[in-house]
Amino acid sequence: DDLKDVIHSLKGLSDLEMSLEKVLGVKKVIIVQGNSDEDELVLKDMGRASAKYLRSVISYNSVIGITGGTTMAQVAEEMCQEKKYSDVLVLPARGGLGKNVEIQANSIAAKLAQKLGGNYRLLHVPDNIEEETIAALLKVPEVNEFVNTMKNIDVLVFGMGRADEMAKKRKSSEEKIEKLIEKGAVAEAFGHYFDRNGDTVWESMTVGLSLIDFKKVGNVIGVAGGERKAEAIISICSIREDMILVTDEGAAKKILDIV
């Protein structure tokens, strides 16, 4: 690991991390080499770096929340199989949001828990449901218990995406996509869309982590890379200045270019 640190600093990544911490105003930035837009292996490296950081902040009885997406899948994949956290609980931060892209949050949570030797809970509740339906769902004991357990999340690891890409992936209507863009949405995270300043443009109605919950979680680790996500990362980083960002060189350089 010491050798890795030396190589890291020789490559100028430590300087880049410090610059990014300053411009984004976040607590800590971890940068891996390369650009995940061009090289899939970089996504793996981001996963590994995030898993390593995650291990450094969890304790024996942590409650970890995790979202879906290809980046989060790599975090679980790259977690080493230590199986020493038998009291750790892993929860999908947004339940199952209905479409394939999102359902992964459940399987990612299960995989992460299994790697750590801990426990997990699953939630299968669709996204964008009517308020009355949510109220009815909350009366189901298992759902209610899940929602209460979610309040205990002390470490959240989450993916960040571009608003336009995520809205399309979720098969949102043309009308909704247009509205999002019109209102300046550039980023998406845990089912919420944000503008460049990190202000909420649209919040999906579901059972799961809300923005209020997000602001209360003790440790939040956002992971996203690739030049194309630069603006989305800037947006999400302005929501919480004590967040940890794990990203890649491609996104980092682009962010410094456009801020």
Rounded to the nearest whole angstrom, what is the least distance from the CB of residue 163 to ligand F6P in the complex? Answer: 9
Identify the burial level of 190 via C-beta atoms within 10 angstroms of its C-beta, where 0-12 means exposed, 13-18 middle and 19 or more buried: buried
Tokens read off for 28: 């800590």
- Whichever of 8 and 169 has its CB closer to ligand F6P, that residue is 169
- Whichever of 118 and 159 has its CB closer to ligand F6P, that residue is 159
Q: Do residues 115 and 81 touch, judged by C-beta distance below 8 A?
A: yes
- Whichever of 16 and 160 has its CB closer to ligand F6P, that residue is 160
- Whichever of 160 and 237 has its CB closer to ligand F6P, that residue is 160
Rounded to the nearest whole angstrom, what is the least distance from the CB of residue 189 to ligand F6P in the complex? Answer: 5
Interface ranges with ligand F6P (CB under 6 A): 67-72, 101-102, 158-161, 166, 188-190
Rounded to the nearest whole angstrom, what is the least distance from the CB of residue 151 to ligand F6P in the complex? Answer: 20
- Whichever of 117 and 213 has its CB closer to ligand F6P, that residue is 213
